[in-house]
Amino acid sequence: MKELLKLLKQNSRLSNGELATMLGKTEGEIANQIKELEAKGIIRGYSVILDEELADSDVVSAYIELKITPQPDRGFDEMAKLISAFEEVESVTLMSGGFDLGITITGSGLKQIASFVSQRLATLDGVLSTRTHFVLKRYKEKGILIQDDPGDERGVYL
């Protein structure tokens, strides 16, 4: 299972047949394992890694640090779930250290993100403060390089 997940993390578009070949299993076994991983909620979905700038040059992303007041009984969960429900929000993580929730968001311009933060996030009950960092350039995401292929430096010296 571990090897299967490793391969899927590298490229989730590998077919069951290809995965089976590489792992020395049958296609049926792979299909069952994936079904099981999905049923257990270990695999939550499949996405794509884009060079956002190439896909749409107007797109802007931001990383937002949020400090919030934990609620009695539920801690940070309630607020995290509430924020996760916003469609613009791409990721929500509870952090240790100087702030509580880390949020990534992608929008079609600075203004859109600014208004989301000021009108929807900052106004939530329990949000103490926000800090917004705009993404200038992406180099790597989920293990995938968002850079030009450096080419093969290896020569054939023998």
Partner 1 sequence: MNYNELMSQRAQAIMPSPIRRFFDLAENMENVISLGVGEPDFRTPWPIRSAAINTLERQSIFYGANSGLLELRTEISNYMERKYQLSYHPENEILVTVGGSEAVDLTFRTLLNPGDEVLVTEPCFVCYAPLISLADGVPVPLPTKEENEFRLTAEELKAAITPKTKLIMLSYPNNPTGAIMRRENYEELAKVLRGTNIFVLSDEIYSELTYGSKHTSIAEIPDMRERTIVINGFSKAFAMTGWRLGWMAAPAEIIAQARKIHQYGIMCAPMVSQRAAISALKNCDADVKHMVSEYDHRRRFLLERFAEMGLRCFPAQGAFYLFPSIESTGMDSETFCEQLLQEERVAVVPGSAFGESGKNNLRISYAYSLKHLSEAADRIEHFLERHAK
Q: Does 29 bind partner 1 (CB under 8 A)?
A: no
Distance CA 46, CA 142 (A): 12
Instruction: State which of residues 96, 98, 143, 157 lies at the interface with partner 1 (CB under 8 A).
Output: 157
Instruction: State which of residues 8, 18, 63, 67 lies at the interface with partner 1 (CB under 8 A).
Output: 18
For residue 69, the 8-state DSSP code is: P
Confirm if 117 and 111 have CB atoms less than 8 A apart: no
Distance CA 127, CA 64 (A): 12
- Structure-token pair, residue 2: 């571990």
Apex 26 CA angle, 23 and 27, nearest 5 = 100
Q: Does 65 bind partner 1 (CB under 8 A)?
A: no
Q: Does 5 bind partner 1 (CB under 8 A)?
A: no
Q: Does 21 bind partner 1 (CB under 8 A)?
A: yes
Instruction: State which of residues 8, 23, 50, 59 lies at the interface with partner 1 (CB under 8 A).
Output: 23
Q: Does 152 bind partner 1 (CB under 8 A)?
A: yes
Summarize as ranges the residues that interact with partner 1 (CB under 8 A): 3, 6-7, 11, 18, 21-24, 152, 154-158
